[in-house]
């Protein structure tokens, strides 16, 4: 059983798309995504510096476009404006995305089209950037290691929010930068603090104004029920209703991400292989610590395509053609 996972904000890095442009089908897909989002994704993915792509309005469309294009490269599914049903329905044991990665997961599962996911992420990124700029400067820091209860207590003691509970000994604290600095100066025992490359306290009440903007955009979409089991960040549950899935993604902007529960569901469902689409690395790292025995591949560059295709062949359900 294969699950596909899509990374969230903070996974981006300067120049990350440059090698992908040489892969057949990827450049046209990214140029189309740029037209849909109104963001120059090719430039930002090749020549923009770290500060530029840290901008939420840039990072989020960049991540969703990268996720979709890289999975299409794995599956050879580059028909113009094609949906995912033929490439994924019945083959994947599940699909999920971390934070903004949920919008890519919605498209892969068939709830929305690629273009609809890209339009929604453009609204989401811009709205969250405005929300972050409207109040005190905020951010997020990963707390790695330590006793889980002590970590949560320390985050609360400093007036911060556990915005991402990721499993594998990782919790992300969010809030004002001065409080994050105080946490870093007084970390929980046996834990270390790493500031994340994000521009706001995502998945907290700071983002409440962005929820209304994203809801207005979502109201223009008619979602379909997923054709591939879809994991929800809200509680790790598998969602069978397209309307419910879209509503959850809208609300999640201002609510904590429970990736630990998503991984718990993967284990309960008997997942044997996990493919993290580009820019991969973070979610496979978590999986190695929390899903022992599950084979993982992270799409960090096109050099990983052969390994990804091999993983799909060995862990995904075969197509009718492959069964012949």
**Between vectors from CA 122 to CA 120 and to CA 124, what angle results, nearest 5°?**
70
Q: Which of 48, 70, 99, 141 is catalytic?
A: 99
Is residue 99 part of the annotated active site? The answer reads yes
Phi, psi angles (nearest 5°) of residue 270: 80, 30
**What is the distance in angstroms between the CA of the first residue and the CA of the last residue of the chain?**
20
CA distance 317 to 313: 8
Residue pair 85/227 in contact (Cβ under 8 Å)? The answer is yes
Comparing C-alpha atoms, which of 129, 1, 8 is closest to residue 67?
A: 8
- Evaluate the CA torsion angle 182, 188, 189, 191 in order and state its sign: negative
Q: In what side-by-side order are the strands of the sheet with 295-298? A: 238-239, 230-231, 94-97, 2-6, 273-276, 295-298
157: left (phi over 0), alpha (psi -120 to 50) or beta: alpha
Question: Which residue has tokens 């395509």?
Answer: 305
Q: What values do phi and psi take at 203, rounded to 5?
A: 60, 35
Supply φ then ψ for residue 6, to 5 degrees: -120, 125
Is the separation of the CB atoms in 142 and 8 below 8 Å? no
Catalytic position from the list 44, 98, 203, 315: 203
Cα–Cα distance, 175 to 180 (Å, whole number): 7
Q: What is the CA radius of gyration of the chain?
A: 18
Measured CA to CA, the distance from residue 26 to residue 137 in angstroms comes to: 36
Q: Report CA torsion sign: 146, 193, 130, 102.
A: negative
Question: Which residues are marked as active site?
Answer: 99, 203
């Amino acid at each position: 059983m294969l699950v596909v996972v899509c990374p969230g904000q903070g996974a981006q890095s300067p120049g990350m798309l440059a090698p992908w442009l040489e892969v057949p089908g990827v450049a046209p897909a990214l140029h189309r995504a740029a037209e849909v989002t109104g963001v120059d994704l090719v430039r930002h993915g090749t020549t923009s510096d770290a500060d530029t792509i840290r901008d939420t309005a840039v990072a989020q469309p960049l991540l969703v476009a990268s996720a979709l294009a890289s999975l299409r490269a794995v599956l050879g599914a580059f028909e113009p404006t094609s949906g995912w049903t033929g490439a994924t329905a019945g083959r994947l044991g599940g699909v999920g995305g971390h934070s903004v990665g949920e919008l890519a997961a919605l498209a892969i599962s068939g709830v929305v089209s690629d273009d609809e996911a890209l339009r929604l992420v453009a609204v989401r990124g811009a709205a969250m950037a405005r929300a972050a700029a409207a109040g005190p400067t905020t951010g997020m820091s990963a707390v790695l290691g330590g006793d889980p209860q002590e970590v949560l207590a320390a985050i609360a003691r400093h007036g911060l929010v556990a915005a991402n509970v990721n499993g594998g000994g990782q919790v992300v604290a969010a809030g004002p930068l001065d409080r994050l600095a105080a946490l870093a100066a007084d970390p929980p025992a046996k834990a270390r603090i790493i500031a994340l490359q994000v521009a706001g306290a995502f998945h907290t009440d700071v983002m409440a104004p962005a929820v209304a903007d994203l809801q207005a955009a979502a109201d223009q979409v008619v979602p379909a029920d997923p054709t591939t089991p879809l994991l929800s960040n809200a509680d790790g549950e598998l969602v069978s209703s397209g309307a419910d899935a879209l509503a959850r993604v809208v609300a999640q902007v201002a609510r904590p991400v429970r990736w630990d529960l998503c991984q718990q569901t993967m284990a309960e469902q008997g997942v044997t292989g996990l493919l993290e689409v580009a820019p991969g690395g973070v979610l496979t790292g978590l999986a190695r610590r929390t899903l022992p025995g599950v084979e993982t591949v992270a799409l960090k560059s096109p050099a990983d395509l052969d390994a990804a295709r091999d993983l799909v062949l060995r862990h995904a359900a075969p197509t009718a053609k492959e069964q012949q």
